[in-house]
């Protein structure tokens, strides 16, 4: 019975720690204002153009490189080993901690990579030239949409 508890406790601790692996969801609001442009408002930073391209930023895949799994596995193995007295219990705790830590570390790395991704919107200006904007998401904005540029914000017309 005592051996079962020594195996179950690290497993429960790792399961509880896995809740820390996800980040809170942020609002997925569009990066531009979907309202019509304010008529008659002119400013030195206001311009008009057409969305020419939208490209993905960051890595092409969300696959982690393994650093999070390695660090998580090492930390998990050290923590798992602390919960046992006998040699066989220490071995089981070490393996269970390493596996659990590696899984948690992998998820944390995936989430951090996902947060670094975004999109680049390239706008062909009416006055000539090209201007680029980097955003987390683009909402309903599509290639070919006419936009008003006010500072660093896009407004779909």
125 by Cβ neighbours in 10 Å (0-12 / 13-18 / 19+) ranks as middle
Instruction: Give 85-108 pLDDT, tens digit per residue.
Output: 787 778 888 888 888 888 888 888
Give the pLDDT mean for 64-79: 81
Delineate the domains of the chain, giving CATH numbers in brackets. Answer: 1-22+60-116 (no CATH), 41-58+118-157 (2.40.50.140)
User: In the chain, what percentage of residues exceed pLDDT 90?
Assistant: 13
Structure confidence at residue 26 (pLDDT): 41
Instruction: Give 108-134 pLDDT, tens digit per residue.
Output: 877 766 656 678 899 999 998 899 988
Q: How many Cα atoms sit within 13 Å of 87 on the Cβ side?
A: 0
What are the tokens at 10? Answer: 């690290």
CB 137 within 8 A of CB 31: yes
**For residue 121, what are the CA distances in angstroms to 47, 53, 93, 142?**
15, 6, 50, 9
Give the pLDDT mean for 69-85: 82
Q: Report the sign of the C-alpha dihedral through residues 58, 59, 63, 67, in that order.
A: negative
């Amino acid at each position: 019975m005592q051996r079962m508890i020594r195996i179950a406790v690290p497993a429960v601790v790792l399961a509880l720690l896995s809740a820390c692996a996800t980040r809170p969801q942020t609002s997925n609001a569009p990066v531009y204002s979907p309202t019509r442009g304010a008529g008659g408002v002119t400013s030195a930073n206001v311009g008009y153009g057409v969305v020419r391209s939208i490209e993905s930023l960051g890595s092409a895949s969300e696959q982690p490189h393994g650093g999070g799994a390695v660090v998580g596995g090492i930390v998990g193995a050290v923590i798992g080993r602390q919960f046992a007295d006998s040699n066989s219990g220490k071995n089981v705790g070490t393996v269970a901690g390493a596996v659990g830590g590696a899984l948690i570390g992998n998820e944390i790395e995936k989430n951090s990579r996902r947060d670094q991704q975004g999109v680049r919107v390239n706008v062909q200006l009416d006055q000539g030239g090209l201007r680029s904007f980097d955003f987390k998401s683009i909402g309903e904005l599509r290639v070919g949409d006419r936009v008003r540029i006010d500072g660093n914000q896009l407004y779909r017309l």
